[in-house]
Structure 1
Amino acid sequence: METWLKLARAIDRLNSAVGQLVYWLVLLMVALGAYNAVARYLDRYTGLGLSSNFYLELQWYLFSLIFLLGAAYALQRDAHVRVDVFFSRFSSRGRAWINLLGTVLFLLPFCALMLWVSWGWVANSWAVREVSPDPGGLPRYPLKAMLPIAFVLLALQGFSFLIHQIARLRQSEPETHEDGLGKL
């Protein structure tokens, strides 16, 4: 089991690094959003032409990256929205079983489905070098390539989560800390 836990911790480190990148993307997106708002306001009164579709689409791309890349990090940190009607009433072992079954029955098959469905869409976008139809817009194919990457990261984190739940059931891993994190 220790070998599996080492693999799970390596996946956790990978997604932690991606999560740190996402923190910086959030900061960049907020700064860009502030710039876009000020630029549009100044354009209205001065006609300087500071705003463009490039900056608006870049903000949208950053939001997409944050959402896509942040999913695996949120799973690692147990920060996804959870309907907590019964879950909190279960014992640690009961919660581990629910997490294990949810991961095997829902999360991993969903990731596989999304990879399968998105692959052709992404490949087509790269084949035609898809770009935004708006003047001054950005290429869309690099952003679309992030979709399968994001689901691979989410599936890997799901696999790590599965290993941690099995370890918890086998009592090979200590209880999670107050912040919801296991041993990382």
Structure 2
Amino acid sequence: MAQTMTAAQAAGHGRAAPGIRLLGWIILALMAAFLINNVLNVGYGTPVLTAALGDMSQAGAIVPIGIYAVCLGIAIAFVLATGSTVLRTDGQRLHRFNLYFIRACFWAVLFVGIADATIAQLRVENLLPMFFSEETTRAMGRSAWVGPYIHMPLVALGFVVALFTRTLGFTWLTLMIVVAELLIVFLRFVFSYEQALMGDLVRYWYAALFLFASAYTLFDEGHVRVDVFYAGFTQRKRGAVNAVGSLFLGITTCAVILVIGLNGKTAIINSPVSNFEITQTGSVGMFIKYQMAAFLAVFAISMIIQFVSYLFEAVADYREEPGHRDHQPIAH
């Protein structure tokens, strides 16, 4: 397990690097502007940046331009205002934010999974009328109602709980997956009872576990690396390789995922999320397919943040600055 450094420990380790810091924060600013513009485009019809630049006379064209200008301005102003901040401090700052973001997402899917599975079970067994009015029972059969009125408050609760916890939630989610799998096997082979929602719940949590944990795995050097040459590199050479890889392979790949997945209302992420899409099992399954599409965006966002943090750390390693984190070798 890597030994992380606090911001206080990292402060003062190395020389100021305004150029690489500016590059990293501009990447994050562009991502933030793209996400904000995407929400406005899908929800309110605001044009995207490329359309606005192509026809400045169209209604709302100034909005995306203003969004990008503000985000870039904030990033540049932040770097200029914190000119003495060293790379490892920025890297740790981004990593801590990413830990909160991932932790919040884990708690959110835990809460949503339990709640939606419970509702689906009551709906399948026609038990909802025993606890709710006829109108509410009908509403709970529509994903367009369950999504905003049940799922979204639970997602918000996950972000609140994440403020007061320090664990990432891997343990809880992994435990719940094991419990769900055991319950499925027990009910299927002992009582010959099976419902579509059981498979939906396991797939939902599995998808969250692997996609959300990817960024933390990157921080802890846990991803598989073809290291025939890398293993023999010096710290300086490893820093150069990691910096180039983060910038031209990692960040660009995740950016492609976001651009393709959020490219208009009919894109592969935007479409299911905006329509609260469900699986073909319909009302007998869980209403969480749209969230599984959103997991791709969460994966790309968290990875871009972590890759920028990794970029800062890699450049600091290349410059042979103090504060390098040693990683325990991981056997693959």
TM-score (norm 1): 0.87
**Equivalent position SS for 2:324:** coil
Superposed counterparts of 1:1-184, under 5 Å: 1=16, 2-17=85-100, 18=102, 20-44=168-192, 49=193, 51-119=194-262, 120-135=267-282, 136-139=284-287, 140-179=289-328
After TM superposition, give the deviation of residue 71 of structure 1 in Å: 0.8
Per chain length, whose mean CA-contact separation is higher, i.e. which structure has more relative contact order (CA < 8 Å, sep 6+)? 1
User: What SS does structure 2 have at the residue aligned with 1:173?
Assistant: coil
Can you give the 5+ residue segments of structure 2 that lack an aligned partner in the other structure?
1-15, 17-84, 104-167
Q: Secondary structure at the match of 2:279?
A: coil
**Residues in 1 aligned to 2:96 and 2:219: alpha-carbon distance in whole angstroms:** 10
Change in Cα spacing, 1:87 to 1:3, as seen in structure 2 (3 Å) is: closer
- State the alpha-carbon separation in 1 of the partners of residues 296 and 260 from structure 2: 10
**Amino-acid identity (%):** 22
Answer whether contact 2:235 2:320 (CA < 8 A) is retained. Answer: no
How far apart in 1 are the matches of 2:245 and 2:327?
Answer: 22
Regions of 4+ moved over 4 Å? none
Cα deviation 1:140-162 (Å, max 9, x = unaligned):
11221121122100000000000
Paired letter, 1:132: T
Q: Distance in 1 between matches of 2:324 and 2:178?
A: 36
Query: Can you give the 5+ residue segments of structure 1 that lack an aligned partner in the other structure?
Result: none
Q: CA deviation at 1:173?
A: 3.3
Q: Which structure has the larger Rg over C-alpha atoms?
A: 2
**TM value normalised by structure 2:** 0.50
